[in-house]
Structure 1
Amino acid sequence: MSPIKDFIVTYEAPNEKGFISQGDTIAGTVTFTLTKETELKVLVVKVKGNARVHWTEGTGDRRKSRTAHRRYLKLKEYLVPENDKGTALPKGANCFKFRFTIPQEDMPSSFKGFHGKIVYMLEAKMSRSWRPSSVVQKELKFVSKSLSHPGSVMGPQSGSVEKDKGKVQMSATVNMKVCSPGDTLTVVAKIRNSSSKKLKPKVSLQQRIVYRAEACTNVSDLSLYKMEGDTITSGSEETFSCQVKIPGDANCTIQNCEILSVEHYVKVYLDISFAIDPEVKFPLVVIHSSLAALQSGQAVGPYPAGAFGAPTYTDFPPPAFPPGPYPVLAGPGAYGYPAPYPSQHANMTNGYNNQWPQPAAPYGFSNAAPPPFQQGTEPPPYMSLFSPPQDDLGRTGSDYKN
């Protein structure tokens, strides 16, 4: 019978929410009771962070397994130094203290998904000669600071799209780019329907998880929220608005793990029967609520300010008219965005943040943002928002289906 009883590892959380981040100190104890004097070869405590993905594909003889692993953190402290001859510990209660400081390095947040996970673990291991090792573990919740953003990129996003050579036009706005679980977004869309068909505005909040292993990918798309507006008849103009709540248990964005990424976006689209639906997509960065309270303008982590940039998921330039009740982009550099598309961090090689060349200005809109909308002045007439394109530019419009 083993003389080791009540082998426990505990630590003091550095904050009320119980998570750890870069720069935090973990202080704790390893305790156990010995029923007799015992010789240990080693007693060591570790903090480890690992990402793993695994899935199978194909059937029968063509069935293959895809696996990948990345290590992001490994800290070690010897409480009883390694000694092949053994170190004698007295009978009774034994207590050892330890302390670690999490390095200021780029590490992804904790995550658990269907095909992969990112896990940080506190582990104590005790070894004796000719005996199986005794191991106790406690999982740590790690929240990465690498995706914190300065306030300059937390403003609204705008995009526009048209169909059938301008017969259907939509301009949409989302009031924020960076948010936290539990936050509520405001979506406003202005639609002009000059076609012969009825259409219905819809909004969805999407999550995309991409697992990568052995040059293959496994993609999981999930709709977290959906809402639709009233039908817009032919020859009418409507403004559709709704509130989109980020679920309280939503995964945070992960873009700094080579084998696993988590992304979110809001899709605003028009449901048209027997036609390809025109849509505008807005990327969201979902961060932990504690990081959202960081002082405005304070960039944390390896990504430079503006690294996520101004472009949205749509290939269309910003609309040339005020997007509803939200501020209008005052030109290149508004809200801190470089003009017109910022450079991106070398690690950002996945998902919707890939750098794309700037498209030509369609629909008669200029690539340059409109002049600032002065406070206290009257907004432009609604009909002026949908001015017909110039003849010499009319051929550049998006025509999903003629």
Structure 2
Amino acid sequence: MPSVQCLLLTYDALNESGTFSEGDTVNGKLTLVLLKDISAQSLYVKLKGDAEVRWSKKTGDKTRTYSSSKRYFKLKQFLIAAQDSKETDVPKGTHVYKFSFKIPEQSMPSSFRGSHGKIIYKLEAALSRSWRMDSTTKKEINFVSKAFPNIHSLMAPQVGSVHKEMGLFSSGQVHMDVGVDKTAYAPGETAMIVAQINNSSSSDMNPKFSFIQNVVYRASGSTKLENLVIHKVVGKCVKAQTRQEVQCAIKIPPGQMQTIQNCEIITVEYFFKVYLDISFAFDPEVLIPVTILPLDFTPGLQPGVTASPYLAGATGGPSNSDFPPPAASFGPYPASPNSGGYGYPEAEGYSVPKPAYSDNPPMYAFPSNAYPAQPPHLSGGYNNPVPQPQAPYGSPFSSSSSTPVLHPPPSAPTFHPPPSAPAINPSPSSSFNMSPSAPTHNSLSSAPMMNVDFLSQSDEPPPAYSLLFPSSAPGNSDAK
């Protein structure tokens, strides 16, 4: 009849998922049920974390085995300790022993089990008696690492692009830009992938989206790779000589294993793979790395709020301009703050400059309708310039005095008013065309008022310099 009826390990959970991380304390109990009195040499509990890999490779008639292991920590606590090599008498009945371990605060990988390796954190208990086999028990704990450096940078969007010149069976080229709203996701989240495809070739192609897991095992200078396609989506066909934007939503499975990058012998990585399936040609593809974080470990986002993808210009993405965004769009792609003529990111394109607030502001303010829209050959096809607000100070022209003058606008809190200077009497026959880019003359506070409607003058040459600014010497007034 056996003496030990039961040896049971239990521990207290810290959260609903029953996970532990770096620096957490594992509190538990060891229950020993004896059917009769015994003499024990020792009774102890251990908590340890280990990683190990093992696989075999056959070459011809020879088979080579690769293996490696890594220990992260080992903690041991004696509940019954031998004193001076003497055994301890333990009466029959139920005995409950409490224990406590603090997990080291160091970077360690999360728990993992694969076909060629594993990372395990477990509690072990053993009762040792002389002339008998040890009574043992063990229980695994779910360890979830939170050692993710630069966690906030993982909330930034990602972009990738690929360009391919077509080969023997088709002509032209194809360009694809791919963007995702961020880099890190928790299980259960949905990732939005946006692909902008410019098919300037003679072939039709199908965009395809995949969520891929790569597991790499390392031992004795060799590696073993496992590749698993977790989810795959096929988009609509992109016809030849067309441009198209394709969006795809991929949900991360709720129980998906998180990324492991801090283990020397096992690595778990994830990718979004976007590629174009082209017949009789190599498929151009974009791989975007993805980090899977533990649940409730995605800082930087409010609950229920999803970050927008990088092509968010169509819905009002961020802008550094103080003016409203232009209403015009370029082709079928939405315009973004960093997009060019086709909406591709990082390309040079039209941008609205910020207003210049300097210590010497422009002297004159013109109404918003003073100048007509530029023709296409001058504005590069952008016929609607950025709309300007109406002049807040009314018309800058005044005829209340006998000598018409052009007044500067009233001073604003953030502007310094220009200095004043005596008005210059113009010549009766002088006329000129004002230009939106007319230079600012800080030495003058007023300019002569013309008796000709200068807004209707568009083809006349500029006035002579001497007519606008007559010399103080009457004998030197000839125009050069």
TM tier relative to shorter chain: 0.7 to 0.9
Q: Which moved more, 1:108-117 or 1:74-83?
A: 74-83
Structure 1 residues 269 and 90 mapped into 2: Cα distance closer, same or farther (>3 Å)?
same
Equivalent residue runs for 1:1-400 within 5 Å: 1-59=1-59, 61-83=61-83, 84-147=85-148, 150-164=151-165, 167-292=173-298, 294=299, 322=311, 376-378=324-326, 381-383=329-331, 384-385=341-342
Q: Distance in 2 between matches of 1:158 and 1:224?
A: 21
Q: Distance in 2 between matches of 1:79 and 1:62?
A: 49
Structure 1 residues 283 and 141 mapped into 2: Cα distance closer, same or farther (>3 Å)?
same
Structure 1 residues 231 and 185 mapped into 2: Cα distance closer, same or farther (>3 Å)?
same
Q: Distance in 1 between matches of 2:225 and 2:264?
A: 14
Structure 1 residues 323 and 216 mapped into 2: Cα distance closer, same or farther (>3 Å)?
farther
Q: Distance in 1 between matches of 2:105 and 2:76?
A: 17
SS at match of 2:178: strand
The one-letter code of the counterpart of 1:15 is: N
SS at match of 2:297: helix
Q: Give the CA deviation at 1:179.
A: 0.3
SS at match of 1:159: strand
Structure 1 residues 222 and 174 mapped into 2: Cα distance closer, same or farther (>3 Å)?
same
The one-letter code of the counterpart of 1:13 is: A
Q: Distance in 2 between matches of 1:325 and 1:246?
A: 26
- More relative contact order in 1 or in 2 (CA 8 Å, sep 6+)? 1
- Asked if the contact 2:187/2:294 (under 8 Å) is kept, the reply is yes
Structure 1 residues 252 and 62 mapped into 2: Cα distance closer, same or farther (>3 Å)?
same
In the comparison of the two structures, how many residue pairs are matched? 324
Q: Distance in 2 between matches of 1:209 and 1:254?
A: 9
- Asked if the contact 2:159/2:178 (under 8 Å) is kept, the reply is yes
More strand by share: 1
Show structure 1 runs of 5+ residues with no match.
Answer: 297-320, 331-370, 391-402
Structure 1 residues 44 and 214 mapped into 2: Cα distance closer, same or farther (>3 Å)?
same
CA deviation string 1:83-132 (max 9, x = no partner): 43211112212111111111111110000111111111111111001111
Structure 1 residues 127 and 225 mapped into 2: Cα distance closer, same or farther (>3 Å)?
same
CA deviation string 1:333-365 (max 9, x = no partner): xxxxxxxxxxxxxxxxxxxxxxxxxxxxxxxxx
Q: Distance in 1 between matches of 2:60 and 2:284?
A: 41
Structure 1 residues 35 and 221 mapped into 2: Cα distance closer, same or farther (>3 Å)?
same
- Asked if the contact 1:156/1:326 (under 8 Å) is kept, the reply is no
> Under a length normalisation based on structure 2, what TM-score does the superposition of the two structures give?
0.63
SS at match of 1:58: strand
Residue equivalent to 2:393: none
CA deviation string 1:371-396 (max 9, x = no partner): 95778413773341279x99xxxxxx
SS at match of 2:296: helix
Q: Which moved more, 1:375-384 or 1:159-168?
A: 375-384
Q: Give the CA deviation at 1:273.
A: 1.1
Q: Distance in 2 between matches of 1:379 and 1:77?
A: 71
Q: Distance in 1 between matches of 2:321 and 2:127?
A: 68
- Asked if the contact 1:13/1:19 (under 8 Å) is kept, the reply is yes
- Asked if the contact 2:190/2:252 (under 8 Å) is kept, the reply is yes
What is the RMSD computed on CA atoms of the aligned residues? 2.6
Residue equivalent to 1:333: none
Q: Give the CA deviation at 1:323.
A: 6.5
Q: Give the CA deviation at 1:61.
A: 2.9
> Under a length normalisation based on structure 1, what TM-score does the superposition of the two structures give?
0.75
Q: Distance in 2 between matches of 1:59 and 1:27?
A: 49
Q: Distance in 1 between matches of 2:327 and 2:284?
A: 27
Q: Distance in 2 between matches of 1:98 and 1:252?
A: 30
The one-letter code of the counterpart of 1:279 is: E
Q: Give the CA deviation at 1:150.
A: 3.0
Q: Distance in 1 between matches of 2:283 and 2:164?
A: 9
CA deviation string 1:201-228 (max 9, x = no partner): 1111111000011111000011111111
SS at match of 1:231: coil
- Asked if the contact 1:171/1:323 (under 8 Å) is kept, the reply is no
Specify the structure having the higher radius of gyration (Cα): 2
Q: Give the CA deviation at 1:326.
A: 8.3
- Asked if the contact 1:148/1:291 (under 8 Å) is kept, the reply is no
Structure 1 residues 274 and 150 mapped into 2: Cα distance closer, same or farther (>3 Å)?
same
CA deviation string 1:203-260 (max 9, x = no partner): 1111100001111100001111111111111111111001011122322100011000
The one-letter code of the counterpart of 1:206 is: I
The one-letter code of the counterpart of 2:24 is: D
Q: Which moved more, 1:268-277 or 1:134-143?
A: 268-277
Q: Which moved more, 1:215-224 or 1:84-93?
A: 84-93
- Asked if the contact 2:179/2:311 (under 8 Å) is kept, the reply is no
- Asked if the contact 1:158/1:323 (under 8 Å) is kept, the reply is no
- Asked if the contact 2:184/2:290 (under 8 Å) is kept, the reply is yes
Structure 1 residues 149 and 289 mapped into 2: Cα distance closer, same or farther (>3 Å)?
farther
CA deviation string 1:263-314 (max 9, x = no partner): 001011111111111111110000111323x577xxxxxxxxxxxxxxxxxx
